[in-house]
Structure 1
Amino acid sequence: MSKVNNIVAIPMGDAAGIGPEITVKSLANEEIYEVCQPLVIGSAKVLQKAIEVTNFPLKLNLVSSPTDGNYTFGTIDLLDLDNINIEQLQPGVVQAQCGQAAFEYVKKSIELAMAKEVKSIATTPMNKESLKAAGVKYIGHTEMLEDLAGSRDPLTMFQVNSLRIFFLTRHVSLKQAISQMTKERVFDYVIRCHEALKRLGIESPKLAVAGLNPHSGEGGLFGMEEVEEIRPGIEIAIEEGYNVAGPVPADSVFFQALNGKYDAVLSLYHDQGHIAAKMTDFHRTISITNGLPFLRTSVDHGTAFDIAWKNIASSVSMEECIKLAAEYGSKF
């Protein structure tokens, strides 16, 4: 893939967490520069400290816009927002300045993506407590993206190896999640999943919907959700011409998709899909946000305050995150 005009914006994340470290470590991998033009949005003082901690022979190139970047291995192109007091930075500690700065990095990245100055965004982790301490009104990336990019209910997809997983429900209790599993919602998400897969380059996607109850309820013996809501939603989609199967028992559907039977699985609730993805390969599980005017990928781990600034955080997930942003972002 050509890297020309494939700039990936990388907001640095919470300065007290592992975001700066994994950003530096990722950009110390020459493979990244073979697939895209990485542009970090962050703090020069913090990133310079991360370079020193990780001990890579890298230099910073401060730019005022994406077009100013050199994008050559050995140099990190950085749009410096200069919004961290480095003297007051405490690694591994919740701080308002870090929450505010992390939000500003994402906000700037979204502005660049909306202006078509970058192709995609690959996000590092933020800390919800730090955001709250700063008075930021959003609890995480998804909420920021939904509001600032003007998108309705962005669609989350995990990818790990060849396994793709969508989520019908996200951060709600299991009881609430089950109440949201209506035939109307299932039908709507089947359509949205197909559209997302086509946008990612899969011309004729085949989707599977996971079952909720053991053996997908066995015709009502182990619960009526499949009979009353999930299957009827799928049947409406089939009548409309969508290639979708299910509900397929959750103990087998993810394995089948990993081995090519389906292009993606619609998981019914948070942990159902998260467990399947992370057991496949924890470090290479990447979150992709669909339904935006641009592509956004993200690592699926937190700020890891307990190991921050100790040069022990793995950058494998971040590297995969950037590579997928480059691969799919070029299609937007």
Structure 2
Amino acid sequence: MPLLPLAITMGDPAGIGPEIVAKTLLLPQYAERCMVVGDPGAMLRALTLLGAADRLHVVQDVAAAPLRADRICVLPSSSLAPLPPPGRVDPACGRAAYQAICLAIDLARQGQVAGMVTAPIHKEALAAAGVPYPGHTEILAERGGASRVAMMLANDVIATVLVTIHCSLRLAIERADFDAQLSAIRLAHQGGLALGVAAPRVAVAGLNPHAGEGGLFGDEEARIIRPAIEAARRDGIDASGPWPGDTVFMQARQGRFDVVVAQYHDQGLIPVKYLGLEQGVNITLGLPFVRTSPDHGTAFDIAGQGIADPASLRTAIDRAFQLAGHAQDLPKAAFPIDNA
């Protein structure tokens, strides 16, 4: 049986998404196994910029898509006319990016693709288009049919799962309750399995400085986080903590832990991104299909100039194929993840 393709969403048409997708799929090993879900006009503009306009091939059906080394197949999810200029927030681009994500999710849920890899979107453009979601993760959770999802950022050194994602720090503190803690720990365990770790060691970071310092700097560790860790351990998960947030990632880098559960967005993402954007991959846990994305944004400041680096997107695609179980020398992923 032929391998199912990966669906690669184009991202915001005004950002670097179409360019890095085009640069990646100009390589035969990706063109033969991936198809773009997006706006043909946006992809044609990117390919023209790269002197490869003749590689565009618009298809109307995944099953009939003639994936070949010398073609970049695009399944239309929108038709922008006129095509907005690069480097600007535009409601039309936000809407087109959202439509590409929705179509790719539907294809993944229907089993027509092996998974999806998403190029960067712009949250302001989504909002300007009236899309009621702050980012990819929230769209994926609702349309993907998942009751609980978590964002895992991983590179070759550190993997981290977030308890809370796209919200203010004030809201993150409110939302990091017992249920959110336990869900994140369970998903971190499953994420470690998906990455090939037989018995993942999950470290849970504290919310407060020094993990509360015995209650001197806050009681969330004793009142909420530690009971969730104990509940996870009763489930057979090797979870420990809460550990001080300023040292737990160093210990993970030294090999003591396999996955770190971070309490809020920046606590978990700064350590991963500091090690290099080109190797960091965002993995959404809790979905009934594989989804990854590069660890950077739309880069409006360089959009349309032909200088965007596709390295992180290529890493995200490689990781998606690993998780989907298509890489011959890597363990099969533990997807779909049971987050009940």
Match of 2:292 in 1: 297
TM-score calculated relative to the size of structure 1: 0.90
Q: 1:308 to 1:232 in 2, by over 3 A?
A: same
Query: Which residue does the alignment assign to 1:28?
Result: 26
| Counterparts of 1:146 and 1:184, CA distance in 2 | 17
Q: Displacement, 1:189?
A: 2.5
Aligned equivalent of 2:36 = 40
Cα root mean square deviation, aligned: 2.3
Kindly provide the CA deviation profile for residues 201-226 of structure 1, in whole angstroms up to 9, marking residues without a partner as x.
43322111012333323323333322
How many residue pairs get aligned? The number is: 327
The one-letter amino acid of 1:229's match is I
- Any conservation in 2 of the 1:183–1:234 contact (CA below 8 Å)? no
Deviations 1:3-31 (A, max 9, x none): 94141101112111111101111123345
Is this contact kept in 1: 2:135–2:166, CA < 8 A? no
Alignment of structure 1 residues 1-332 onto 2, 5 Å: 4-32=2-30, 37-56=33-52, 59-81=55-77, 83-85=79-81, 87-330=82-325, 331=333, 332=335
Q: 1:113, 1:15 → 2: CA distance?
A: 22
Q: State the AA in 1 paired with 2:235.
A: E
Change (3 A) 1:180 1:97: closer
Give the letter aligned to residue 114 of structure 2. Answer: K
Instruction: Report the CA distance between 1:288 and its aligned residue.
Output: 0.7
Ranges in structure 1 where 5+ consecutive residues have no aligned partner? none
Identity %: 38
Q: Deviations over 1:237-286 (max 9, x none)?
A: 22332211111222222122233322200001111011111111123221
1:7 maps to a residue whose letter is P
TM-score scaled to structure 2, two decimals? 0.88
Distance in 2, matches of 1:106 and 1:258, equals: 33
1:232 and 1:42 mapped to 2: Cα distance?
A: 45
Higher helix share: 1
| 5+ residue gaps, structure 2 | 326-332, 336-340
Q: Name the CA shift for 1:73/1:240 in 2 (closer, same or farther; >3 Å).
A: same
Larger RCO, structures 1/2 (Cα 8 Å, 6+ apart): 1
Task: Give the whole-Å Cα distance in 1 for the aligned partners of 2:175 and 2:143.
Answer: 26
